[in-house]
Structure 1
């Protein structure tokens, strides 16, 4: 483990924070916390914390002793001073005399003693930091330390590796009891550099920020060197099909099977998840191992992971290419067994709780697919990435643990206590979901104009949005370069969306362009070119969307931009209006043929939008032709209002939210009776 401390960077951090009125102790605490948080082998997604004991002024101007400790929700890799809220130290120290303290009372005491009531909740391990006498304290979930201690003889191994440099703490659930136990062991070993929490992580302590940080690096390096001595081969491979299906083929099937059925509203209303796929040599060796049912089903490598990954991952059957129906059937049966096992796990331990818990859903958050890789599941793409990151870390830790001996984590009752820990569950359930959360949306022509406004509108509603366009260089988020007139390009784009997030729920087929010409004079090449983009591209997009949606079996929504030209043609706009009219009827055919699949199809009929098809030059030309100002032309509708790209976007969103509407055309033009439909 590389020591990244820099005297120059430390001095710069002190100066930068001093300009904001922040003292040197806290400045250096921020600096070394970032060093630790930037190394994923030490800290991953909130899995660690740091503190410093210093002095600050309270509201009266009196200087008092405080503990600045990592606050809930802050990432150690990017933390700033507000992420280390100051808590009055003396009241925390007085809690040592208590024999017991509930988690809720502990949190209340900590919040009551914040110097700033607006600060985030201090870490659940605040009392551990407060009870130890050292000025600077660092805590990580080092992969190497976990591989060393996640063993049947982990204590003996740790004692051999760390000797007198670190004291060992048996596993105790984080909170008041762990703080008391750690304090007891620290007082019995006053000269140690660190504390190794068996099957949990490691603490290092020091009089300065540099000393605590360097001790962490040195102790972790000892564990890494011990693991490096082991060279035995692990994960003997199981027999797998010669040809494995792709992630794009497998993910929609998994996503559909793992969506929770809705009580009302049909398939489309099901509670679904967003996926994140990972693969590589190490992952493939892990998921393809002959003994995967043993080493993958022990539990999390460190307790904190259970909050994000649940107690166990789901091991799917190996998906043979060309036999996806068999994969779907076998996966469904395996998931039913997984759910039954989860219900039994909950029943086994819930009866032993002082206060009964409410059972969580039985859907796994990590899926291991032999021959393919692994998927992380979450309510958002961010949550799915977190689950996948933790799963990758689990692969690395278990691989080293198995190379050294036999992987063994904390006992099942302790896993249950962490998974159903009220303090951590409160973090995950605090935020209310937006209307289109967990929905995966594809917008074609989404890099500009109506498409860009539509992509942004769906993102504001909580959806994960993929933009398909020829040029996606300026697209924020998932942009996929795609020529919608090329069926192969469209298929590849939809496969990428499915492999990235697990499937597709809503598609806005928006890409188009306006070719002009008198229909009696226009050449065939122009008309055919317009049909390629304004009709055949919509068919290609819709076909691929339906392909993925049917694999999910969750229903879906197809939305088409048909324009008013489809029903109210304008002079010299035949090359544009004819394919648009065909696309309107294409929409209705999808509504008719795929309603039985739970797939809705609707269209938006828009007109006079100053963007995309109707640019400034065309507006000026049409205004002059009618003897109108541009303002009068753009507002030349029954309401006298100019219609914007966002107005069209909101129409698409409204149709996406209408679960019992299909075959409908929504007019967005401010009022044009000639273009109005029933």
Structure 2
């Protein structure tokens, strides 16, 4: 591992933050924190922390000594000065004289001594940073250091690698107790350059930001070099099928097997989004004949438990062409996993007094021999976090097994950390959005109605895939939505393009829960005079494309086994045909009945089918030129033409999007056609 320190960049950070009134100490603290945070071999997703002891002016205008420490949950890779709350240092140092302190009291004392009351909570390891006298203190969860110390003889190995340069601290849950133990280890030899915390990570110290940072790099490098010397072959491979099923074939099966039925609402599920990882290191790990031992031994550092749980689910190796067998085997494996988790919770909850409330028992990491691993989360972001941490575990456990034998903390310690309120607080307590964990596919998403629908579904918590023949338009709309919104090229009239699009969605998110089949175009002409090719062209887009999309979605939904929702954009032409619109209205009428047929044929699978019947929406169908021509032909202003309905209100793409969203949320509604036109009795269904 090499130092990324750059004098020019350090000076630039001082100058840039200085313009905002930030001193050089904090500017360099932020600079080196980012250097550490951007290296996934050191920290991941809110892990690790850093601090600097400096002086600031408080709200009374008085200069005071403070500890600026990383705020709880902030990401070191992107941190800025607001993520380093300043706490009065003398107040923190006096706490060392205490014999004991509860977590709640520790948090209250730290918050009571914030310079800015609006600052985020300081790190749970704030007191450790305060009790060590060095100006700059860095802490990471280096994969190499964890590979070195996560072994039965980890302390001896650490002593062999570092000699007297690093102090050793036995495992203890973070907080006041760990801070005291670490301070005692430092006092035993104040010459140490840092501390190795058993089963937890590494701290380094320095008089300036560069010294603390480069000591971290140096100490991690020593661990890497030790692990590389005399490294034996790792993980004899198990016997695997000659042909393994593909990621896109099994992802929906895994996703459905891990979904949890909602005990309060019939037909509702807690679903998970997936994130897939593979590669030589991952395959070496998941293919190991002894994977049921080393993968189930526990977490590499307690900080991971709230994101990955304490062990992954091991799936059977999926044979190509035997997906039905795989589905049954996976469901058995998940049931076993859930029972194991429930028993683990019951044992340990009784041990601590029985006052904990069990988290959901679903796995957050799945190992699939022959294929790779999946991270699971209620959003794509959370799934990526789980997958990133799982890959870090692969690296650390592989390193430990290559030089000895991996050993985690005890089950009791894992439980105490998983159900530790200060760790749970990192996840937040906000009520989940109604479509959290669900994946919605929207066609024609580069247009007005499709884009508005994708935005509405994303705001409701869904992960959205925006399909459009015009990929550039879909990408622009996806970028505007942000998050994990995915743009996928798709010609909905082409079966191969549709199949490829669904494969892309399944590969990215793991499956599909909602289809909004929206793409369409309006062909005109008197029905008795229109060329047959025009009629066939309209049927391809306005009927058969809906059928292709619905078939692809249903295939995935049935593999998942958690129901789903098919939503179609039909038109008022389907029930109230207008003159010269037969080429458009006829396939739309067929699509209206297609909706009801899907509702009839797949209701037993929990798959709902509904449609929105909209009229006069500014979109690719109803262009500005078309609106102008129609208005002039009727002797109306454009405003009067667009609001020519019973309510006298123009209907927008956003109104249609809200109708689709309503149908997606109504778990006991199917075969419904919702009219969104401001009121047109002639188009009302009866």
TM-score by length of 2: 0.97
Q: Secondary structure at the match of 1:351?
A: helix
For residues 141-180 of structure 1, the aligned pairs below 5 Å read 141-180=141-180
Structure 1 residue ranges (4+ consecutive) displaced by more than 6 angstroms after TM superposition: none
For residues 126-275 of structure 1, the aligned pairs below 5 Å read 126-267=126-267, 269-275=268-274
- The reply on whether 1:655 has 2:663 as its aligned counterpart is yes
Task: Tell me how far apart the structure 2 counterparts of residues 337 and 355 of structure 1 sit (CA, whole Å).
Answer: 23
Moved more, 81-90 or 355-364: 355-364
How many angstroms does 1:253 deviate by?
1.5
Task: Tell me how far apart the structure 2 counterparts of residues 413 and 279 of structure 1 sit (CA, whole Å).
Answer: 32
Number of matched pairs? 677
- The reply on whether 1:516 has 2:524 as its aligned counterpart is yes
Task: Tell me how far apart the structure 1 counterparts of residues 37 and 597 of structure 2 sit (CA, whole Å).
Answer: 54
How many angstroms does 1:264 deviate by?
4.4
Task: Tell me how far apart the structure 1 counterparts of residues 544 and 354 of structure 2 sit (CA, whole Å).
Answer: 61
How many angstroms does 1:226 deviate by?
1.0
How many angstroms does 1:73 deviate by?
2.4
Task: Tell me how far apart the structure 1 counterparts of residues 230 and 76 of structure 2 sit (CA, whole Å).
Answer: 31
- The reply on whether 1:621 has 2:629 as its aligned counterpart is yes
Q: Secondary structure at the match of 1:205?
A: strand
Is the Cα–Cα contact under 8 Å of residues 523 and 584 in structure 2 kept in the other structure? yes
Aligned residues: CA RMSD: 1.2
Task: Tell me how far apart the structure 2 counterparts of residues 350 and 638 of structure 1 sit (CA, whole Å).
Answer: 61
Task: Tell me how far apart the structure 2 counterparts of residues 594 and 319 of structure 1 sit (CA, whole Å).
Answer: 27
Task: Tell me how far apart the structure 2 counterparts of residues 52 and 424 of structure 1 sit (CA, whole Å).
Answer: 23
Task: Tell me how far apart the structure 2 counterparts of residues 93 and 280 of structure 1 sit (CA, whole Å).
Answer: 47
Unaligned runs of 5+ in 2: 480-484
Q: Deviations over 1:510-553 (max 9, x none)?
A: 00111112212211221111111111000000011111111111
Q: What's 2:424 paired with?
A: 425
- The reply on whether 1:610 has 2:618 as its aligned counterpart is yes
Task: Tell me how far apart the structure 2 counterparts of residues 451 and 311 of structure 1 sit (CA, whole Å).
Answer: 41
Task: Tell me how far apart the structure 1 counterparts of residues 318 and 361 of structure 2 sit (CA, whole Å).
Answer: 22
Task: Tell me how far apart the structure 1 counterparts of residues 354 and 290 of structure 2 sit (CA, whole Å).
Answer: 37
Q: What's 2:101 paired with?
A: 101
Q: What's 1:469 paired with?
A: 468
Q: What's 1:403 paired with?
A: 402
Q: Secondary structure at the match of 1:473?
A: helix
Q: What's 2:309 paired with?
A: 310
Q: Deviations over 1:68-93 (max 9, x none)?
A: 00001211011000000000111111
Moved more, 452-461 or 354-363: 354-363
Q: What's 1:111 paired with?
A: 111
How many angstroms does 1:286 deviate by?
1.0
Moved more, 327-336 or 307-316: 327-336
Task: Tell me how far apart the structure 1 counterparts of residues 206 and 184 of structure 2 sit (CA, whole Å).
Answer: 18
Q: What's 2:551 paired with?
A: 543
Is the Cα–Cα contact under 8 Å of residues 568 and 610 in structure 2 kept in the other structure? yes
Unaligned runs of 5+ in 1: none
Task: Tell me how far apart the structure 2 counterparts of residues 652 and 484 of structure 1 sit (CA, whole Å).
Answer: 20
Q: What's 2:369 paired with?
A: 370
Task: Tell me how far apart the structure 1 counterparts of residues 458 and 148 of structure 2 sit (CA, whole Å).
Answer: 44
Task: Tell me how far apart the structure 2 counterparts of residues 93 and 357 of structure 1 sit (CA, whole Å).
Answer: 32
Q: What's 1:578 paired with?
A: 586
How many angstroms does 1:2 deviate by?
1.4
Q: What's 2:343 paired with?
A: 344
Task: Tell me how far apart the structure 1 counterparts of residues 615 and 353 of structure 2 sit (CA, whole Å).
Answer: 64
Q: Secondary structure at the match of 2:270?
A: coil
Q: What's 2:493 paired with?
A: 485
How many angstroms does 1:354 deviate by?
4.8
Is the Cα–Cα contact under 8 Å of residues 47 and 73 in structure 2 kept in the other structure? no
Is the Cα–Cα contact under 8 Å of residues 59 and 116 in structure 2 kept in the other structure? no
How many angstroms does 1:355 deviate by?
6.2
